[in-house]
Structure 1
C-alpha cells in the first residue's frame, strides 16, 4: 500500500495562483527564496541536463525593466495597451524569478523534453511559494517571447529563452477559485 500524504494532496487540490497585481511586500528574504529555488530544482529532468536556470529580480531593478519594456514595445509598434500590460508586472513587482530555459545539446534528450522540464520548474517554484504561504503567479506575455528583450535586457544567450516569470510576495486578497476542467471531458480511459 502507498504511504499517502493527505496534506500535500489537499494543497494540490486547492492550490490557486494569486494575481501578480495583488502581491505586495514583504517578499521572501534571500534564504527563504533559496529554499524555494532548491525545491523547484527537484523537477523531473531527463538526462540530468538541468536545462534551466534562475534570474532573481528584486525591487531595485523593476523600474529599469519597466522602462526597457516600454522602449521595446514602442520600437515594435505595439498597441499602448499591450505595452502597458507588458510593463505592469515590473511597475507593480517587488520580487520575481525569471526561469530561463537553457537548451543543451543531447543525443538522448530531445529539445522538447528540455522545454517541458523548464515549464515544470516554473510550476514547481510557483507551488513551492504557495505551499510556503506566499502569494505567487506565473506570468509570461510578449516580453517573454521577444528575443531582443531577452538578449539586451536580461542577457540571455541565443540558446536560452524565458520559460516564465514567477512573481512572489504577500497576497493582499484571496481570489475566488476559477472554473476547472470537467474531468470527463479531458480524460480517455484505455482498458485494452
Structure 2
C-alpha cells in the first residue's frame, strides 16, 4: 500500500475501456467504501448514497442507457452509438455516487454536492491505493431525468458520477499535469 503523499503524487485515472476483471471482492469493496465515505460533511447530513452496478444488472443498465442515448439523439452517428453500447461492458464494477440534498438544512447545496464529490474522489483514491484502476465519469447520463428515474432517485437526488472500477488490463500512462506555478498566487491586500 502506498503512503498518503505518494498516493496523491501518483494517482491517475484508468480509462474505463482498459478495466477488466477482477473487481474488488466483497470484503475489499466494503473496506474501500467504508474509507470513501469518511468525508468532510458540514452539518453531518450524509448528503450522499451509493448504488453498485455489476454483472447482469450492469449490462442491462448499460444497454438501456445506449437505447436512451439514441432516443435522445436519433441522429447519433454509428461510432457514438457503438461507444454508448459498449460503455458499461468493460469495468466489472460501476459505483453510482448520488448526492442527496437536504434543502431544509441551511447547509448550502454546493457544500452538500462537494461532500458527495469527495466520496467519488475517495473511491478513486482508495481503488488506486488497493491496486485497482478507476475512472470517474459523468456525461449526459448523470443529468438525464429518465436515468434518474431508472436509478430510483428521489427529487432531491442527483448523480455525481459513475465510478468504473476494475483491474487495469495493461500499463496506463499518466497524462501531463498542470504546473503549480501557473496556478498558485499569493494574496496581498
Per the normalisation by structure 2, the TM-score is 0.91
Pick aligned residue for 1:163 from 138, 160, 164 = 160
- Deviation of the 1:107 alpha carbon: 3.9
Query: Is the alpha carbon distance of 1:105 and 1:130 closer, same or farther for their aligned partners in structure 2, counting shifts above 3 Å?
Result: same
Cα-to-partner distance string for 1:132-177 (whole Å, 9 max, x where unaligned)? 11111111111111111121x2111121111011111111112211
- Deviation of the 1:75 alpha carbon: 1.6
Query: Is the alpha carbon distance of 1:157 and 1:87 closer, same or farther for their aligned partners in structure 2, counting shifts above 3 Å?
Result: farther
d(CA) in 2 for partners of 1:107 and 1:39? 25
Moved more, 131-140 or 58-67: 58-67
- Deviation of the 1:191 alpha carbon: 4.7
Residue 53 of structure 2 corresponds to: 57
- Deviation of the 1:83 alpha carbon: 4.0
- Deviation of the 1:104 alpha carbon: 1.2
Contact 2:97 2:159 in 1 (8 A): yes
Per the normalisation by structure 1, the TM-score is 0.90
Paired residues in the alignment total 186
Over 6 Å off, 4+ runs: none
- Deviation of the 1:114 alpha carbon: 0.5
Helix, strand or coil for the counterpart of 1:91?
Answer: coil
RMSD across aligned positions (CA): 1.7
